[in-house]
Structure 1
Amino acid sequence: MCGILVSAVRASLSDTEKFRNAWSALGDRVSRRGPDAIGEHRVENGNTCYYFFSSVLNLRSEFIRQPIFVSDSNEHQSLFFWNGEVYAGVEMGPSESDTRILASLVRPILRHSTVSEVREGLENLFSNINGEWAFALWHAGTATLFIGRDILGRRSLLWHLPVGSTSSLLGGLFVSSVSTTPYTRNSGDTLESGAEVAKWPKGFWEEVPVGIHSLELGHDDREETLSVRVSSSLLNQLLAPVVLPGLAHSGHGDISRQTAPSSLATTPRLEHPSGATVDSFLDAINNSVRLRVECIPGNTTHSPTRLAILFSGGLDCSVLALLADSYVPDGEGIDLINVAFENPRSRGVESRRNGFEGKHSHQTSYAELQGSSSGSLVPPTFNPICPDPEFSSPWDPTYLVPDRITALASLAELRRLRPRRPWRLVAVNIPFSAALAWRPIVESLITPLSSVMDRDLGGVFWWAARGVGVVGEQKDSEASHYRTPARVFLSGLGADELLGGYSRHRTAYLNGGYVSLAESLAADAARLPSRNLGRDDRVVSDWGREVRYPFLDPGVLDWCACTPIWEKVAFGVGTEVDPVDIGGSAKGGRDDLVGDKWVLRMAARRLGFESVWKEKKRATQFGSRVAKLFLDEAKAKGSDVLFE
């Protein structure tokens, strides 16, 4: 994995303190994504200066620094930046660097003399890749910058296209894996107050759309402006599995014109998917997990753990954890990262419910904790590497939130099913003071997203990726501090969107049967590139970790597209399963339509889970208790926009 940063500005701006501060701030943030190596380069093209910066997180046995200098037949030195993982589609050995292999495949493309020919060559190359990626390529022959993201946007890439005079930052071109924070850090990795730098104007950054883009810069000396001509190409990959999961497979074409067949409205419901359907689904998701786990190099630290799971204890992550067990060497631990927030709104209730006052019961009131002012926050010194002394056991009632309770129960099931695996539940307990102090950092990382829900979910994953918590084997045993050495995290994102895991899918089915359900699933899948994936990459990678998504593998997407929707989702499953067993209502009505993600539930049951397969879907922000955490957002909805 790598962090990518490129800027093009007029030479007159490049020497100003304004630009140097902005570039330095961006470089500091991008460098956190790749702690193993950094690289910088500068190219002058007339009155325009191009600046390049990269950071590398090495997740291959063969270590390659970036940028890679690639020469074409005319000896032009082009620059290649690769942020991603190749799982299939390119011939390479298990120990080889995908960065080096791709650079060698890019070299023949550089011989083309026109921008459109180079873009078409890149499109053909990257359309064949199964992986999660973003890249940047400076083509010296045409003085053009090419950038791209995979079809789902699983790696973050932001851009700002020039607007107005080149005397301001708005007049320059910026491409970056991440935005900056309004704070700087010192070598001790603690926040320093003051030193506000590069606080970008609202709307400065935008997500780069998925696909391949060429950026040709021009300049007007009289108007003192830069201009950029952007040309884009979609990848030649099958889009139907992403946008219309569970409908008839129509192959390539204009996905916006594909519709659900009317026959779905009258198709009889099945009480269960067939055994063959469950088997084929397990084959698809198991192969996806294998591709993402087998290629992780061994860890050389004293704790040889190479893999962690973003773990709420729910259905999706528990299945991934169990499948990953087959591809991690015997005796090596798998870390299950579970996040819980101290939420003063519920602290007293939970303490009374557990029969005693928690260790934080002496603290001041909620209003006093946060302070009466909702103005700018100056974070206290709080070291994100060393555990805070208030961090306590996984069973502390302050942090015994719904997701913690579920995680402990699922951990017991994993240990029963795979007793020889050292499963380690890492309880990441976040004091209210820490969540409040670090709120500005999370809000900067989710940029350009800006909703309350994005900040809440981004906060959960940011603290999870930090990987610092406590572990304890038994409720009454002494807990110890722990920091995961794993650099790769697995996420269950995608299961809800593809397999009908949200309540809105149930509502759609009630209102319009399988036709409406299919349309709802299609809309959710289509939103993935712009909603979740770039955000999650930015917050997780800020700690030098990489997140991978087994449910979004092309093999799983293709399975979803080819499998009838009633074989995956079974709202109104019949009488064989008591709805109460899986979170429904014994009284009937809307709540007893309990068949969300039904094929995944049946797969979990086939794998041997006794309770996990029955777990009801719970939103991460509520399960971790990060929702409604801050006093100034007591009445805010998840869709409300921050900073307004």
Structure 2
Amino acid sequence: MCGIAGIVDLRERRNIEADVLASMNQVQFHRGPDEGGVHIEPGVGLAHRRLSIIDLSSGQQPLWNEDHTVVVVFNGEIYNYQGIAAELQALGHTFRTHSDTEVIVHAWEQWGEACVTRFRGMFAFALWDRNTETLFLARDRLGKKPLHYALLPDGQLIFGSELKILAAHPRFPRALDPLAVEDYFAYGYIPDPRSIYRAALKLPPAHTLCLRRGEPLPAPKSYWDAPFAPLPAMSVEDAGAELIERLREATRIRLMSEVPLGAFLSGGVDSSAVVAMMAGLSDEPVKTCSIAFDDPRFNEAQFAQQVADRFRTEHRVETVDPDDFDLIDRLAWLYDEPYADSSALPTYRVCQLARRSVTVALSGDGGDENLAGYRRYKWHSYEERLRSALPLGVRRPLFGLLGKVYPKADWAPRVLRAKTTFEAMARDTVEGYFHGVSVMSDRMRAPLYSAAFRRELQGYHALEVMRAHAANAPTEDPLSLIQYIDLKTYLPGDILTKVDRASMAHSLEVRVPLLDHELVEWISGLPPDFKLRGGEGKYVFKKALEPVLPHDILYRPKMGFAVPLAAWFRGPLAARLREAVLGATMRACGVFDMDYLATLVGQHQSGRRDHSAALWSLLMFESFLRNAGVGADAGPVWREAA
């Protein structure tokens, strides 16, 4: 696991500023503390920070082919590199290292842009071909590894593993993107390809970008998609057996390492399944780690211990202070743009704990998206059954009116909130799911923004992100459709971003067997009722794991990695919340209706409403502004500073 950075002049061969490239590379020191490498030639500068995992002695980067015409900087792991190397050697290519990085330069020589279709793993890389003056950027299929880029006004393209690398360039424009701000307050993160800055983009997962000097900047190209193509008919038992075999194989190939390796163990289904696979594949005890909370509402340590005892792992547990909110400003620095998933706090701590004993950790991320494990899938399916009773043309006007006039009853159980049900009935499938996952609903975002900021949005609505993915979806099944949308938005934008930044803050590599792309392809073709049946998510997975894991691990209520935000904002963080959300920085940025912010804070701190998710998103936005150097005298943040 590493970090990459670069500057490429797409107009001509002007000299690259070595000090600027060095500064960009130094900003990401945490991603690769073992070694740093730089290559500069006229019009091209590539930089790399290395966390040594494979081929410790000779895997330094930037790495060249044998005649020094192709050079690459690479972040990630290619698990099938040995087979590809053997194929390339048979075709006449000469290798001088045993690293997966060298496979990339020879695969480019042999297959060009199609080389990425051969790679099984997680990766983001930048390759420069001197012969054709071509820069080739690529990102893995699910988006485990990040890659950001920006075209500067002078024709230089800059790129890096994190946004802070781009922001370290002195000519990087700092104006914020209003559409990204709207996306953030809807989703709690900024979905690809936008970033918080107008000038910067994220290369989307499963995309490449091929740039040639002297030619206009092209659009990224997609090279893969989750197919959701139905598999041949099979029983639940047969599907479960094959699922376990495929997971075992995906885990096996992720055990290659020349440094200590272990696993996160939360006590949930997915991490427990990965640990079970590892235990069956290793002669040595698996190193596992988990964190505990004093508050039993959030504490899963006893379940993690059950699994650790069953598989005789070398288990480490650390209790986290329930008021662990000193990380707020640290998170703003790590994530580089507003990011409102509060589970980033415990994720940071569990990565910190893991790094004390291992350099590589396997995780159970991806199981919920693949196998319909989130509670919201159950609620969405319930709402879809209601919506299917009447056509949208009837539902929208009828239930839209009822939703407006019926009183709000947040105190009632969800199934008894008639206003919520009426509003759900008035929406189509994508609207309904968007509403269910929004951090701040349309009703809350409408008064959130100042009049000036609403004009900047020009009618844009964050729902358009999901609409665009739904239009390209290879499935019309309601459950499969929202799983597909999550694979395109929530998974890379929230879950994988959280894990990448939190782990790399501690120079820890995280590998994710459940997001092996071949496994994802196969799972996508399973019948939807194998995934969600009778309100039970991950149905086929849990049935297959019954001989392996205890019943109360498989079928207990899902807890998640939550923190007590509501109590924080009425107690130890009450003053800080008011100072931040209602302070000079938020007022000066020009985005908000400050009276409405005062209403949100007042209603929450009085106990009348729980606005904790919305307030956390506002607190993290203010922390981002300060970290980005946007002060009380900056003026509207969507304009470039004078």
* Fold similarity call, TM over 0.5: yes
Which residue of the partner structure matches residue 240 of structure 1?
A: 226
Which residue of the partner structure matches residue 476 of structure 1?
A: none
Q: Distance in 2 between matches of 1:98 and 1:42?
A: 23
Check if 1:57 corresponds to 2:39: no
Which residue of the partner structure matches residue 451 of structure 1?
A: 339
Opposite residue 560 of structure 1, the aligned amino acid is: I
Measured against aligned partners, the alpha-carbon deviations of 1:210-255 in whole angstroms (never above 9, x if no partner) come to 311123355xxxxxxxx952353322x4x234xx3xx6259xxxxx
Q: Distance in 2 between matches of 1:319 and 1:624?
A: 30
Alignment of 1:391-406 (within 5 A): 399-404=294-299, 406=300
CA contact (8 A) 1:25 1:198 kept: no
Alignment of 1:206-285 (within 5 A): 206-210=201-205, 211-218=207-214, 229-235=217-223, 237=224, 239-241=225-227, 244=228, 248=230, 274-285=236-247
Alignment of 1:427-438 (within 5 A): 427=318, 429-430=320-321, 432=323, 435-436=325-326, 438=327
Offset, 1:518: 2.5
Opposite residue 567 of structure 1, the aligned amino acid is: F
Other structure's SS at 1:127 match: helix
Relative to structure 1, the CA distance from residue 422 to residue 314 in structure 2 (aligned partners, 3 Å threshold; closer, same or farther) is: closer
Which residue of the partner structure matches residue 323 of structure 1?
A: 277
Other structure's SS at 1:230 match: coil
Relative to structure 1, the CA distance from residue 11 to residue 240 in structure 2 (aligned partners, 3 Å threshold; closer, same or farther) is: closer
Q: Distance in 1 between matches of 2:139 and 2:166?
A: 27
Relative to structure 1, the CA distance from residue 146 to residue 197 in structure 2 (aligned partners, 3 Å threshold; closer, same or farther) is: closer
| Percent identity between the two aligned chains | 20
Measured against aligned partners, the alpha-carbon deviations of 1:5-62 in whole angstroms (never above 9, x if no partner) come to 10246999966xxx94x645532232221122110121213xxxx3221011121145
What is the TM-score when the length of structure 2 is the normalising length? 0.64
Other structure's SS at 2:78 match: strand
Which residue of the partner structure matches residue 76 of structure 2?
A: 84
CA contact (8 A) 2:35 2:51 kept: yes
CA contact (8 A) 1:177 1:538 kept: no
Q: Distance in 2 between matches of 1:27 and 1:489?
A: 25
Alignment of 1:38-53 (within 5 A): 38-45=36-43, 50-53=44-47
Which residue of the partner structure matches residue 160 of structure 1?
A: 150
CA contact (8 A) 1:179 1:445 kept: no
Alignment of 1:464-483 (within 5 A): 464-467=350-353
Check if 1:289 corresponds to 2:251: yes
Relative to structure 1, the CA distance from residue 26 to residue 614 in structure 2 (aligned partners, 3 Å threshold; closer, same or farther) is: same
Check if 1:129 corresponds to 2:127: no
Offset, 1:133: 0.8
Relative to structure 1, the CA distance from residue 153 to residue 183 in structure 2 (aligned partners, 3 Å threshold; closer, same or farther) is: closer
Q: Distance in 2 between matches of 1:161 and 1:529?
A: 23
Measured against aligned partners, the alpha-carbon deviations of 1:282-324 in whole angstroms (never above 9, x if no partner) come to 112122111112x12254xxxxxx2131x33212111211221
Alignment of 1:175-574 (within 5 A): 175-180=159-164, 201-202=175-176, 203=197, 204-210=199-205, 211-218=207-214, 229-235=217-223, 237=224, 239-241=225-227, 244=228, 248=230, 274-293=236-255, 295-299=256-260, 306-309=261-264, 311-330=265-284, 332-338=285-291, 340=293, 399-404=294-299, 406-415=300-309, 417-418=310-311, 421-427=312-318, 429-430=320-321, 432=323, 435-436=325-326, 438-448=327-337, 450-453=338-341, 456-467=342-353, 484-513=356-385, 515-527=477-489, 528-570=491-533, 572=534
Opposite residue 105 of structure 1, the aligned amino acid is: A
Opposite residue 307 of structure 1, the aligned amino acid is: G
Relative to structure 1, the CA distance from residue 457 to residue 182 in structure 2 (aligned partners, 3 Å threshold; closer, same or farther) is: farther
Relative to structure 1, the CA distance from residue 249 to residue 526 in structure 2 (aligned partners, 3 Å threshold; closer, same or farther) is: farther
Question: In structure 2, which of residues 98, 101, 105 is the aligned counterpart of residue 99 of structure 1?
Answer: 101
The size of the alignment, in residue pairs, is 458
Q: Distance in 2 between matches of 1:33 and 1:7?
A: 19
Check if 1:614 corresponds to 2:590: no
What is the TM-score when the length of structure 1 is the normalising length? 0.63
Which structure features the higher share of helix residues? 2
Opposite residue 25 of structure 2, the aligned amino acid is: G
Q: Distance in 2 between matches of 1:510 and 1:523?
A: 18
CA contact (8 A) 1:465 1:543 kept: yes
Other structure's SS at 2:42 match: strand
Q: Distance in 2 between matches of 1:435 and 1:325?
A: 35
Opposite residue 308 of structure 1, the aligned amino acid is: A
Other structure's SS at 1:154 match: coil
Q: Distance in 2 between matches of 1:27 and 1:627?
A: 37
Which residue of the partner structure matches residue 394 of structure 1?
A: none
Which residue of the partner structure matches residue 5 of structure 2?
A: 5
Q: Distance in 1 between matches of 2:383 and 2:112?
A: 44
Other structure's SS at 2:33 match: coil
Relative to structure 1, the CA distance from residue 181 to residue 515 in structure 2 (aligned partners, 3 Å threshold; closer, same or farther) is: closer
Q: Distance in 2 between matches of 1:122 and 1:487?
A: 33
Offset, 1:137: 0.6
Q: Distance in 2 between matches of 1:530 and 1:80?
A: 26
Opposite residue 500 of structure 1, the aligned amino acid is: A
Measured against aligned partners, the alpha-carbon deviations of 1:257-296 in whole angstroms (never above 9, x if no partner) come to xxxxxxxxxx9xx9xx732222112112122111112x12
Relative to structure 1, the CA distance from residue 624 to residue 286 in structure 2 (aligned partners, 3 Å threshold; closer, same or farther) is: farther
Q: Distance in 1 between matches of 2:24 and 2:204?
A: 21
Of 153-162 and 173-182, more deviation after overlay is shown by: 173-182
Measured against aligned partners, the alpha-carbon deviations of 1:313-336 in whole angstroms (never above 9, x if no partner) come to 212111211221123332x44122
Relative to structure 1, the CA distance from residue 80 to residue 89 in structure 2 (aligned partners, 3 Å threshold; closer, same or farther) is: closer
CA contact (8 A) 1:428 1:464 kept: no
Measured against aligned partners, the alpha-carbon deviations of 1:171-213 in whole angstroms (never above 9, x if no partner) come to 74320111339999xxxxxxxxxxx999955315431123111
Which residue of the partner structure matches residue 189 of structure 2?
A: none
Unaligned stretches of 5+ in structure 1? Answer: 110-120, 185-195, 219-226, 251-266, 300-305, 341-398, 469-482, 573-592
Other structure's SS at 1:292 match: helix
Measured against aligned partners, the alpha-carbon deviations of 1:581-621 in whole angstroms (never above 9, x if no partner) come to xxxxxxxxxxxx3x111222223322141310112222323
Question: In structure 1, which of residues 173, 189, 192 is the aligned counterpart of residue 157 of structure 2?
Answer: 173
Other structure's SS at 1:606 match: coil
Q: Distance in 1 between matches of 2:343 and 2:328?
A: 12
